[in-house]
Each structure stands twice: as structure tokens, then as C-alpha cells.
Structure 1
Amino acid sequence: MGLSATGATLADLGTSSGATGSRSTPISAAEALERLTSGNRRYASGKAVNCNNNYNRRAEVAGRQAPFAIVLGCSDSRVPPEVIFDQRLGDLFVIRVAGNVLDDFGIGSIEYAVDHFKPPLLLVLGHEHCGAVQAAVEASEAGHSQPAGYVGRIVAAIAPAVQAVAGRSGDTVDNAVRQNVEMVARRLPDASPVIRKASHDKTLRIVGARYGLSDGTVTIIS
């Protein structure tokens, strides 16, 4: 039984001294999203400012953290959120798993961030040419056969998105990437009472987005 099923939170496990903190000036979800989108514009245009500014920042956040956004993204090596959004060390609480799928450990990590840091924004980030989504499309085209091992579980989690875009015009993989993001974003409040309450109370906004590997830009899709 996973964390989401029991309703427990990682707050029950305790935290080390100085591990949590709050922003000196709270920001809104709209402001948090603007920080991400403006940072991505800098990155995509070759004008990033935070890539080499983490030496002093390391000392600033060693005793506490106060991320302004949670990002649930893919493990793909080409899509590190801190880089593509041009953010500093400690600005983002990041959960990465192939295909940006939901599991108990990811949900528990999000619950931890919501409980302890109160970020106003949760961004679900898919990306162009996602290998996990490609595998799910190929499995569907082969008659829903799944890859062996735990990879098959990831493919199975993405399969509903692939099925939802069947017959849709355009690139099947990219359509499924977008659909998967939207479906994960919609599922998050139902996956956890902690996330559901924050969403209901409007203290947490959930947004879906797609990153383009080719041009480096992030597009908000939900």
C-alpha cells in the first residue's frame, strides 16, 4: 500500500533541523509561472543568467530550502528543469521519472513539498521525442504488448494517453506526449488528499507544459 493510499504524509517521518524554510515574500502561482516562462525565454535565446551562479548560492541554501515551484518531469538527460528554466540552486523541487508518470514515490515527494514548502505552482513537464511515450506508441501499434521488466509498467501507465489520441491528426508521439501531460495533471488532485486540498483551497495551481528539444522552448498546454 502506497503513501497516497494511506493518506500519510512525509511530515510523519520528520525532517532534519533547518531542512525547511519559507520564502520571505510569498508569490502567487501566476508569478511563479512567469518566473519559469521568463527563465525559459532566457535559456532558449542563449541569455541564461543562472548557469554559473550556484557557487555562492550553495551556501545560501545549505541550511534551508524554499522552492517556489514543484516540477514533475521526465528523466531524459536533455530536460533538466533547473537548466531549461534558468533557475538557481534551490528554486525548484524536482521529481523526475521516465515519461513523467505518477507513482506512489512521486506522489509522496509532491506531498512532502506541498506540506513543507507551500509552493504555489506544480508543473507537469513532458517533452518532444519522449522515449517512454515512443515506447508506449510502439507497444500499442504492436497489439498492446509491453516491454519486459519495470519498463513495461511505465509503458502501461502511458498507454491510456496513447489510446486517447488514436486517430488524431498530427504526429502520434507528440500528440501522446501532450495528452499524457494533461492526464497526469488532471489525476494529481485525485491521487492524494494533500494535493487535492491544496488545489481545492487554491494554494496550489497545477499546470501542464511541453518542452521542445529542437528549439528549447516550453509551451503551456493545460
Structure 2
Amino acid sequence: MIRQLLIRLDASLPNPGELERWVTLAQALDADLLAQLEEDESLNTLAGLPFSTEICRSSAMTRPLNNASLDRRMRRNIQALDRQLAEIARHQPLKWQVTRISQHSSIRPSAGTALLRIGKLHRSYTVAKPGYRPGRPHIAVIHNGDEASEHALECTRRIADQFHLPIVLLALPESPWHQTHGLPEGIAVRTDLAVPERELLLPLLRAWQVNLLVLPASLLNDDENLPPVATLITP
């Protein structure tokens, strides 16, 4: 059972449309929402140097760059994100929390927590209308037959029902779905993925217009090997 949806964000704040999608995703999982803003440790190190300056984008003026100013900026972003979530919570049930975290902290979720990693190239996913049509975006789930994969598939079904999207199941050789053709309506299966590696995943994700991938934590190798789409890592 997933009790919490954790979203890792960089220093830039999401737009309201993204936030609403995340809230809907948390509701589909019947989970609380925890947003974590990542601190850029390299930037913090640079800010500790006595000669560091930055150029303001709006005024093109230079100003000192130091750890105190970065801390104030982070606090402002946390407060702004908290206000945005509070506004959304006025119209729909939501429990949430906004915190800060080191950029290099592990992305492997703890028990009862699913982690949504926002893709570097795709910061959001499309909500489609009911009714299947060719070329429609899909939600993908990687499955190898273990208990974690079954849990990931169940989460995928709940999300697909909420967003009215079909599912493409990427069956690894160990998955029982690799040889079974009795999948429920609305689920397609691909059996040509040998291992869940980035370079092998990318062509499949493009072909099925996948912009949300569900990945069981048991198959997670490292962050750099994840494809550039929003990825939900389930426990």
C-alpha cells in the first residue's frame, strides 16, 4: 500500500498545471503528497567562495552569491510551493508537506512511498480524453513477475483509470505476461525488452508516446540510467 507520493524537484518551481496533475496522481494512489526541493550542493560550494557573484536575469546586474542568499531563495521557494498546494487543497482533499533535501540523496523509495522523478526532458505528462484512438499517449509499466512488479502494475491500473489512459506493459523475460495473452482490455504488452536500460527503453517509449513510466524499485539501478520521462518508482 502506498501512503505517500514523494516528488523530487530542482530549484525551479512547477507551474500550477503540473501541481494539479501531481495532486490528481496522489489521489489516484490514495496517498499524501510530499514535495522535496533539491539543494544544489555544487552551487552551495561555489557560493562559499569569497569572489562568487551572480547575474540577475531580470536586471542583468551582478550581485554577491553566498550561502545565505541561496538559503533565503530556497525558503522563498518552499513557501511559494506550500501556498500553491494550500490553494489547490481548498478545492479538493489533500494532505501535503514541502521540505528540502540534498541533490545527491538516494532516489530509492522507502516502504509505503512512491517516488515521482520528473524527467529532464519532459516535466509533465498529458491527460488524455476517454476513448482509445491510435497514436494516443500511454502509461508504461515494466514487469518482471516479482511481487514488486505486481504492485507496480496495480498502481499503473489505478493511475490509468484516473487519467483515462491505456497501458503498455513492458514484459521482461522473467514476467509471466511474456507468454500470456489474456491481458485485460486497455493493456498492450511488449516482449522485446531484455533489460530495463535507458537506451533500450527510449525507442519503446517514443513509439508508444509514453510520458509516464512506472518502475518497481526492485528494478532500479541508478538515477542516470532512467529515461527522460516522468518516472514513478514504486516500492
Please, what TM-score do these two structures have when normalized by structure 1?
0.33
Please, what TM-score do these two structures have when normalized by structure 2?
0.31
Structure of greater Rg: 2
Larger helix proportion of the pair: 1
Larger strand proportion of the pair: 2
